[in-house]
């Protein structure tokens, strides 16, 4: 039984090349993300409580399930979200409208927001994710370990993600090696702010 499937990317593997190289994108999507999907389907096959459940429902109640479901269900959700946040370098615009106003209100400016997000990504020990979430109608920056995310009932700060960056080494090591801060700085050039705005407006 195969419940979950690997989504296709909305661009080619080499589309983000100046920021994320094609080999990293191909391996990350076709090997790492595929493995989360396959292992999640293995969990579903082994646990009747998971069968027929939507991924969002599983994530929201993740404390009821196995560690394997947490890691691989989170991995599938996080990567499916992540791919769609990106677009070719320099084509993603900048925040505008209500999102731009919310960023200024929460952080003071776009540049301060980026600094705080980068600091959250650098400060996440080991593997994990940095996020901008909507919590009680306001923006916050958080990080989560491993493949956890702020939608999980186990998250220390819960909210609805509108942006997230993968700070696992597999996301950047070929091009940036140990230089996670350089990856985080460069990544802003591939963010698709139209998508982030849609997530923001849907989260309110």
Site for Mn ion in 61-120 (CB under 5 A): none
3-state SS, residue 16: coil
Shortest distance (Å) from residue 159 CB to Mn ion: 21
Closer to Mn ion by CB, 107 or 129: give it.
129
CB nearer Mn ion, residue 19 or residue 99: 19
For residue 192, give every residue at least 6 positions away whose Cβ sits within 8 Å of its Cβ, in sequence order, or none. 84, 85, 86, 87, 91, 92, 93
Shortest distance in whole angstroms from residue 168 CB to Mn ion: 5
Strands (E), 79-137: 128-135
Q: Which of residues 74 and 159 has its CB atom nearest to Mn ion in the complex?
A: 74
Neighbours of 203 (CB within 10 A): 15
Closer to Mn ion by Cβ: residue 83 or 110: 83
Task: Check if the beta carbon of residue 55 is closer than 8 Å to that of residue 74.
Answer: no
Min CB(167)–Mn ion separation in Å: 9
SS3 state of residue 174: helix
| Number of residues binding to Mn ion, judged by CB under 5 A | 2
**Residues in contact with Mn ion, shown as a per-residue x/- string from 148 to 177 under the rule CB under 5 A:** ------------------x-x---------
Residue (107 or 176) nearer to Mn ion, CB: 176
SS3 assignment, position 113? helix
Smallest gap from residue 96 Cβ to Mn ion (A)? 29
Angle (nearest 5°) at CA 155 between 153 and 161: 95
**Nearest approach, Cβ of 109 to Mn ion (angstroms)?**
29
Cα angle value 184/74/135 (rounded, 5°): 70
Binding site for Mn ion (CB under 5 A): 166, 168
């Amino acid at each position: 039984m195969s419940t979950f499937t690997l989504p296709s990317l909305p661009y080619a593997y080499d589309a983000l090349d100046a920021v994320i190289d094609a080999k990293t994108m191909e391996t990350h999507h076709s090997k790492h993300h595929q493995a989360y999907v396959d292992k999640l389907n293995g969990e579903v096959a082994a646990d009747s409580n998971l069968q027929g459940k939507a991924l969002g429902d599983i994530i929201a109640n993740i404390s009821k399930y196995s560690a394997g479901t947490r890691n691989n269900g989170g991995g599938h959700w996080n990567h499916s979200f992540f791919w769609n946040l990106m677009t070719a370098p320099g084509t993603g615009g900048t925040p505008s409208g209500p999102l731009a106003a919310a960023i200024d209100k929460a952080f003071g400016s776009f540049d301060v927001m980026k600094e705080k997000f980068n600091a959250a990504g650098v400060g996440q020990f080991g593997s994990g994710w940095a996020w901008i979430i909507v919590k009680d109608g306001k923006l916050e920056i958080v990080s989560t370990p491993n493949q956890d995310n702020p939608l999980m009932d186990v998250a220390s700060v819960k909210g609805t993600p509108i942006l997230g960056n993968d700070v696992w080494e597999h996301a950047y090591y070929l091009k940036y090696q140990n230089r996670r801060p350089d990856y985080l700085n460069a990544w802003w050039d591939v963010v698709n702010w139209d998508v982030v705005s849609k997530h923001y407006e849907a989260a309110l």
